[in-house]
């Protein structure tokens, strides 16, 4: 790097003046309805759950607002410049000037924008998580209900099968007894 020194004449710089403003944003997170306690054949299938009301969360968001401008007089001063030579590490110290202040203001504004976006995304993420939990709970309840319906259908089919099986056995027994009665009568006649 090559070092050069330059004298900068005095000048007047107009500078923006900002004021921090705080806003409150309210976000509503939906609750869940109450669930009754369900018993079947002496077994508890579903536990009772109380209703969870909607939750309102408040977030404070800070932003800077331009309220005016002020003048600043920068006295005459010297500035060191460094020229980059390829192959070396570049290091240019900034001694004084509005360039650094302008960069810091831009960084402050961008930081506030990122913070604001993060708070909004966080609220959306909370709403999505709540909806996901609600859907998971609904899915689980539907699977339980389907299982109970299948178990009930299986039980009724087993009852029908047993009934038909018993009727078939009774019919065979009656038929065999009916066949034995004429043979008993013939044996008595002989």
Q: Three-state SS across the chain? A: CEEEEEEECCEEEEEEEEEEEEEEEEEEECCECCECCEEECCEEEECCECCECCEEEEEEEEEEEEEEEEEEEECCEEEEEEECCCCCCCCCCCCCCHHHHHHHHHHHHHHHHHHHHHHHHHHHHHHHHHHHHHHHHHHHHHHHHHHHHHHHHHHHHHHHHHHHHHHHHHHHHHHHHHHHHHHHHHHHHC
Return all residues near 117 (Cβ < 8 A) that are at least 6 apart. Answer: none
Overall average pLDDT of the 45-72 stretch? 81
Q: pLDDT digits over 91-150, tens only?
A: 444 554 455 566 677 777 888 888 989 999 999 999 999 999 999 999 999 988 888 877
Proportion of the chain above pLDDT 90, given as a percent: 13
Q: Which residue has the higher pLDDT, 121 or 189?
A: 121
Judged against a pLDDT cut of 70, whether residue 16 lies above it is answered with: yes
Rounded Cα–Cα distance for residues 17 and 30 (Å): 41
């Amino acid at each position: 790097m090559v070092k050069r020194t330059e004298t900068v004449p005095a000048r007047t710089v107009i500078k923006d003046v900002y004021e921090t403003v705080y806003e409150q944003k309210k976000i509503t997170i939906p609750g869940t309805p109450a669930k009754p306690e369900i018993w079947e054949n002496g077994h508890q299938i579903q536990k009772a759950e109380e209703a969870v009301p909607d939750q309102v969360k408040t977030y404070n968001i800070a932003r800077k607002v331009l309220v005016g401008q002020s003048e600043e007089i920068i006295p005459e001063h010297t500035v060191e410049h460094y020229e980059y030579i390829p192959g070396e590490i570049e290091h240019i110290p900034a001694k004084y000037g509005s360039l650094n202040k302008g960069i810091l203001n831009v960084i402050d504004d961008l930081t506030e924008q990122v913070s604001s976006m993060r708070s909004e995304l966080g609220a959306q993420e909370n709403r999505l998580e709540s909806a996901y939990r609600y859907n998971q709970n609904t899915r689980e309840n539907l699977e339980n209900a389907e299982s109970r319906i299948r178990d009930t259908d299986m039980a009724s089919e087993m009852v029908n099968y047993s009934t038909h099986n018993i009727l078939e056995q009774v019919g065979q027994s009656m038929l065999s007894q009916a066949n034995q009665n004429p043979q008993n009568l013939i044996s008595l006649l002989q």
